[in-house]
Chains A and B, each alone.
Chain A
Amino acid sequence: MRNIWTIAKREYDNYFNSPLAYVVALAILLPLGIYFALIMFVSADQAFYGGGAPQTNPITWLFVFLMVFLSPALTMRLLSDEARMGTLELMLTAPVRDFELVAGKWLGAMMFVLSIALVTLVYPIIMNNFVSPGIDWMLVLASYIGLILVCSAMLALGVGISAVFTNQFAAFFTTLGLFFFLWFMIGLPAGYLPTGGEVLNYLSLSNHFSQSMNNGSMTLGGIAYYLSLTALGLFVGTTAIEIRRWR
């Protein structure tokens, strides 16, 4: 466990050395800021005519939606670059379990995303000051738990795929392709199938978050889905590293 933390800490610090991480942070925070301003502006306008209070869940939704495209950039080099630079040899001959290495990388990426998410908490806080009698904090909590779960799944899958490749761009596009498929496409046939549509909907990366958690309803199925994907990603990563040893 201590090794996971040591590796995560190094990875987290490393993000701040790389311009890419700043670009990703900007690419999330800038649209979110604009979107927030728009929401506030429109709600203030509508309030005159009896419009309801604004909520923060469109912002958390946008955060997660942007992560579909940006999280592959955060995970692509985590293990592929170690393999390319040869530093994997260093890690694999240190007294660190393969799982600890993969989990450490995932946790490092997770901490970086959580840092960005922490910054976005200013939006509910500001909004709370403008709304009487205040916003629904339980909804905010549910949204953020959902956000953490989705990000956890995406980053774990990204780390897992990064372990398979030696080229970071191969890892990037594979991860992006997978997320695109899981987010947009897997649920599409659900409406046209006589039976079994629920299964496809269940497998969609977006459904549990967009339909339930972000609207305040934590479903056990959703939690299980995202945690399973996280476990799957870490398992794929660990297995890929083990296979590298045998080659």
Chain B
Amino acid sequence: MIKVSGLTKDYGARRAIHNLSFDAQQGEIVGFLGPNGAGKTTTMRILTGYMPPSDGEAIVAGYDVVEESLEVRKRVGYLPETVPLYQDMVVFDYLKFMGELRHIPNVDGRVNEVLDMVGLLSRADGFIGNLSKGMKQRVGLAQALLHRPEVLILDEPTIGLDPGQVVEVRELIREIGRERTVLLSTHLLHEAQNICDRVLIINKGKIVAEDTTENLQARLIGAERVIVRVRGEADELADTIKAVKGVRKVETLEDGGVEFEFASGKDLRPEVAKQVIKDGYDLLELRPLGMSLEEIFLELTGNEAKKK
């Protein structure tokens, strides 16, 4: 549904994306991860027909984004990063306007349906300017879903939402992703892990890794980090943990917790727990630490540098 090959975009002398190639199938949710300025938004803007690439080709929903831009735009739902909205319009009127531009039959009914999906039915008569950031985000999402697009492109869809809404929106995206193609960008690895089938990590306009989230983590880490906390003073906790065979990189944190690492494959947590209790500590917490995007990222870009 999305097929990108050799995509390049220059802003004057600055190259925003460089020779980007990837694809996304129907019924797939693809996550786009990367730091600010990596080229995520630029790529999405090209795919939505907002601007043409300097070089390369992108096919979205079977149409070329440059040659058949209008056909692409008919089939794509897009939530821009800044969620631009007409602040002085009423929510319902705004969505109706966007629906009319897309020639949706029975537009009033559809607007109500979408408002219900994003949980804003009660605010349909309010002015957009008076909504909170999270609600505006949901109006933007409603706009993107309005015409049942074949391809949904979401730039940071959960930013600014409160935790409850984040869960709801993710659920919604997952549901949509069953039949359609979803491309979403995010900073948060756990979000990508949560909803995406596949992740593209992009840095300085280039794809540095492309895989499922599980594979990516396993490939990168090769080890799992765990934090242990016990009740009361725990000066010798680190020594206790070090005594367990296979444990490495034991570190005592400032707040008294201890972090350690073990090679993935053999889970050492039960052994550590037994040892901690045996030594008379009251075990409060034993929690695996996922690798943050930043860490994965540093790892990846570091590897790139080494290869050169």
Contacts and interface: CB of A to CB of B under 8 A. Distances in A.
Interface of A: 2-3, 6-7, 10, 14, 17-18, 85-90, 92-97, 245-247
Interface residues of B, number: 27
Contacts of A246: 51-52
Contacts of A93: 48-50, 73, 76, 78, 80
B84 A95 contact: no
Contacts of B87: 85
B73 A6 contact: no
Contacts of B100: 6
Contacts of B13: none
Q: What is the interface of chain B mostly: helix, strand, loop, or mixed?
A: loop
Max chain B C-beta neighbours (<10 A), residue from A92, A93, A97, A247: A93
Interface in B64-115: 70, 73-74, 76, 78, 80, 82, 84-89, 97-98, 100-103
A10 B84 contact: no
B88 A14 contact: yes
Given A89-B84, A92-B49, A94-B101, 9 more contacts: A7-B101, A88-B84, A93-B76, A94-B73, A94-B98, A94-B102, A95-B74, A97-B70, A247-B11
Contacts of B74: 95
22 contacts: A2-B103, A7-B101, A14-B88, A18-B88, A85-B87, A86-B80, A86-B82, A89-B84, A90-B84, A90-B85, A93-B73, A93-B78, A94-B101, A94-B102, A95-B70, A95-B74, A95-B101, A95-B102, A96-B73, A96-B101, A245-B52, A246-B52
A37 to B, nearest CB: 36
Interface in B6-56: 11, 45, 48-52
A86 B41 CA distance: 14
Contact of B50 (A6, A14, A87, A89): A89
A17 B88 contact: yes
A121 to B, nearest CB: 30
A211 B210 CA distance: 71
Given A93-B73, A93-B78, A94-B101, A86 B50 contact: no
Nearest to B54: A246
B42 to A, nearest CB: 12
A3 B104 CA distance: 12
Nearest to A13: B93
Nearest to A100: B101
Contacts of A14: 88-89
A17 B88 CA distance: 8
Contact of A245 (B50, B80, B84, B97): B50
Contacts of A92: 49-50
Contacts of A18: 88
Contacts of A7: 101
Contacts of A90: 80, 84-85, 98, 143
Nearest to A86: B84
B252 to A, nearest CB: 48
Contacts of B84: 85-90
Max chain A C-beta neighbours (<10 A), residue from B49, B80, B86: B86
B86 to A, nearest CB: 6
Contacts of A97: 70
B101 A6 contact: yes
Contacts of A89: 45, 50, 80, 82, 84
Contacts of B76: 93
Contact of B97 (A10, A86, A88, A95): A10
B41 to A, nearest CB: 10
A86 B84 CA distance: 5
B137 to A, nearest CB: 14
A67 B85 CA distance: 30
A7 B98 CA distance: 10
Nearest to A14: B88
Given A95-B74, A245-B50, A3 B86 contact: no
Nearest to B70: A95
A92 to B, nearest CB: 5
B29 to A, nearest CB: 20
B270 to A, nearest CB: 53
Given A89-B80, A245-B52, A6 B88 contact: no
Contacts of B103: 2
A77 to B, nearest CB: 11
Nearest to A101: B101
